[in-house]
């Protein structure tokens, strides 16, 4: 998904439609990402003097490791974005995150790669089952925790609890 600026200028103030697939081998160095199965990108480019406005729809399927079971699972990622490529700005300029400097060629691949990475979940699972526990910890329901917390009495307050219990028995 790469065009020279001279190719794009031929279509000034027209929408240049594009639709294609992109092969992304090494998406990121995250260990939970196994592979990028397919990435489909479509949208349009509008040429305006020194700016190129690109509206993109990205649909990708990423094979990741399940956060709980470590099995390989398919994670769909869908992103819509409006990006502006500008010839008059430089990399050192303080830019909006959707404005990119461009010289000679408009290459969408780095931007597509970045958009997918930013929209990937940090943890993803298809398992409905809660983890039972691990070394020195276990999962319990909130009600059980509250009941357990109520049953615990500070040893320093044990005598006061006995007085409270005895007062309740006198009232009955």
Domain borders along the chain are: 2-119, 140-171
Buried b (16+ CB within 10 A) or exposed e, 132-154: eeeeeeeeeeeeeeeeeeeeeee
pLDDT of residue 130: 58
Q: Vertex 151, ends 148 and 154: CA angle to 5°?
A: 115
Q: Mark the ranges of the chain whose per-residue pLDDT is less than 50.
A: none
pLDDT of residue 30: 79
**Residues near 132 by beta carbon (within 8 Å), at least 6 away in sequence:** 138, 139
How far is it, in rounded angstroms, from Cα 109 to Cα 37? 16
pLDDT of residue 79: 92
Q: Are strands 2-4 and 72-86 parallel, antiparallel or unpaired?
A: unpaired
Closest CA to 119 of 3, 43, 39, 55: 39
Q: How far is CA 60 from the centre of its chain?
A: 13
What's the token pair of residue 136? 């020195």
The 8-class DSSP code of residue 130 comes to: P
Contact, 136 vs 35, CB < 8 A?
A: no
């Amino acid at each position: 998904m790469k065009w020279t600026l001279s190719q794009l200028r031929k279509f000034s103030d027209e929408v240049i439609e594009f639709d294609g697939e992109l092969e992304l081998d090494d998406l990121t160095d995250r260990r939970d990402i196994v592979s990028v199965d397919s990435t489909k990108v479509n949208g349009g480019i509008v040429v305006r003097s020194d700016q190129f406005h690109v509206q993109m729809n990205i649909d990708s399927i990423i094979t990741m490791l399940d956060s709980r079971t470590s099995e390989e699972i398919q994670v769909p990622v869908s992103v819509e974005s409006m990006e502006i490529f500008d010839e008059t700005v430089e990399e050192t300029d303080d830019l909006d995150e959707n404005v990119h400097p461009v010289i000679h060629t408009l290459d969408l691949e780095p931007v597509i790669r970045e958009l997918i990475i930013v929209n990937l979940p940090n943890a993803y699972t298809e398992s409905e089952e809660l983890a039972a526990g691990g070394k020195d910890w276990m999962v319990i329901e909130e009600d059980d925790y509250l009941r357990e917390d109520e049953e615990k009495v500070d040893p320093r307050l044990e005598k006061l609890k006995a007085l409270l219990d005895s007062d309740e028995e006198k009232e009955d």
